[in-house]
Structure 1
Amino acid sequence: MTQNCKALTLYELNLLIQKVIKENFESDVLLVSEISRIIYNAGGFTNIELIEKKDDQVIAKNRAVIWNDKKFILDVFETIVGEKLSEGMKILAKVKVSYHPSYGLTLNILNIDPSYTIGEMQLRKSQILNRLESEGLLELNKRLEFPIVPQNIALISSKSAAGYEDFVNHLMYNDKGYRFNLRLFYSVMQGKDVETSIIKSLDEIIECGNFEVVVIVRGGGSVGELDCFNSYDLAKKISQFPIPVLVGIGHDRDKTVLDYVAYKGFKNPTAVAHFLINAVEAFDDYLTDALHKIFNLSSARLKSEARALENISLRIKEKVLENLNISKSNINFIGNRIFPELFR
């Protein structure tokens, strides 16, 4: 080491860093990043770990904070996006860069643009659909043969999920009186655990066997709330599933990825119930129509056979009478020859 070089203390070094950052980051900065961890503290402030990835590798990481006086940012974000700020979300935030000698570098979040996060969700969804299409997975489940009378149904949902009761009530208490065998496979239907939970339920359905149709339902929600269903791994699982999968995730316009890979997607759970009821009704109508045709054909055949039998009966009667007359004539002829006196 050079003897003439004055050594700095850690505090002195940090003060220099603080000065450099303060001089170069006087203005707020617009920052694009991904949330890798978020902690909602009891004190009211929120700690966030922001990262940037390249080829699935983290190339940058920083600590960020939303202080109590900016807590409204979280409420506004949840209201617009429909979901709490959470891990995995990409955000566009206005931040103030600060450096403290004791606590290091901190990004103080001043605002977050919800529209950017929604746009990122839509972009990721589009990328997943393109990947599924390129791998030939979009149409696999749709090519399966749908049961003529779908009655053994595996239901993936949660009793607390909006739409669950609507589906069950419409299906099980339908006005046609059709009976269905329905079994619930519980799954988380909102948040980051949706993917693993539904995949687990699908595996359980295969192990149980004897099911003809799988139904996945939950009520409506915002773009953010339904984004958990835009999962590549879950979509791939459904597309390759050996049983037709019906999806009834409530939406007005935007479909989820699952709607595209399932055998058929519906705008809400009730529509799935109607589809199943209509399928059974179509077969019922087919049987009724077949029975009517059989009855009409049988009636026509019986009438035809009755007429034929009547004609045969008349011909037999005529033949018998003809034979009787011939026999009578023969008897008279023979009688005349044997007993001529009697027949004069």
Structure 2
Amino acid sequence: MEQPLPFLFPALSVSELTRYLRQLLESDEILQDIWVRGEVSNLSRPTSGHVYFTLKDASASLRCVIWRMNAGRLRFDLTNGQAVEAHGYISLYERDGQYQLYVDTLRPAGEGWLFQEFMRLKARLEAEGLFDESRKRPLPAHPQRIGLVTSPTGAALQDMLNTLRRRYPLVEVVLSPAAVQGEEAPAALVAALKRLYRLPELDAILVARGGGSLEDLWAFNDEEVVRTIAASPVPVVTGIGHETDFTLADFAADVRAPTPTAAAELITPDMYDLRLQLNERASRLRGWMQSKIHTEHRHLAERARRLALLSPRRRIDNDRQQLDSLIGRAERALLAAIQLQRTQLTGWQHRLNALNPLAVLQRGYAVVYDRNGQVAHSVHQIQIGDDLTIRLKDGRVDASARQIHLYPPEGGATDER
């Protein structure tokens, strides 16, 4: 079998390979909209206003960046050792060949405990069969009376009433108001549901509220609320939060809608459907146009995504980080140079001290000055009766030459004057 020659496949440069890997990361939809949980370490806040840190757990770490604009919107002070959940997108910092998370939102990891409690209670109720598909009931095709459990002051109520009025104005809506957030909400929801259970000729119940965090929606994860929904004598439709929000009340209901408005749409027929069915050709044309628009929208979204990948903003973001890195290196180099000069200066001071003739006085020696104030190097400079000055390490002594002893050469006799 003939093997391909290796030189037919040109080698990529490091820059080309790194750029290709960055494009791969940025083309992944999951990595461009992701939450990551971990502990903050190596937190750095340079003068640029950007924030750099590392998210770590027991076995891995991930470098993270928050640009100055997003850092100013943090709702809490970020500190080392803090457990957080970070949202953003994954990309590659080309200069270091390092993938990192570009963070746009941070939240304390305490909400993770709520999710664990959610999963624990879900598993227990699911084991009891409370969420079995066999318990689900079909919705009535043409309901005449609908019960509605929601906040009387929330925007979701008006959205649902407008939708019901638009889609099926013949239906009667009975509002059973309840708090949908806070400590009093679970008991209020249970009471509101039980009031509807006592009404005659009720066809279905709609339980809804607008979007919010996991803590905001927590009342719909209350065990008593879930059990009360499961015990409903009529089908229940839930429309709680946004499309990505799931509560235990959704699993206990007969039908779960992604939003309150969608729940109102599911529970009622659309009076315009008959008109659409009577005109098949118009329906086909409308369907073709919707399909065409959807296809063009996808094409436009794909082009917009490709354009975003080529945007100079990405390069500017990388250059910002590189500038921060260069500033840090310059500061470290300057400090090192100052330290080196300081060390050299200390060395010169030690050498000057060693060469200082007065330093000898510290070892017990003295310096003698003759009557002219000159240092006496020989007894020949001194006459009997001369006034002398003797310099010691901590002062001086005034003296007078009473007698002079001249040391002879080796082996000679001492000469005295």
Question: Shorter-normalised TM-score: what interval?
Answer: 0.3 to 0.5
Larger Rg: 2
1 or 2, which has the higher helix percentage?
1
Normalising by structure 1, what TM-score? 0.47
Q: Which has the higher contact order (CA 8 A, sep 6+)?
A: 1
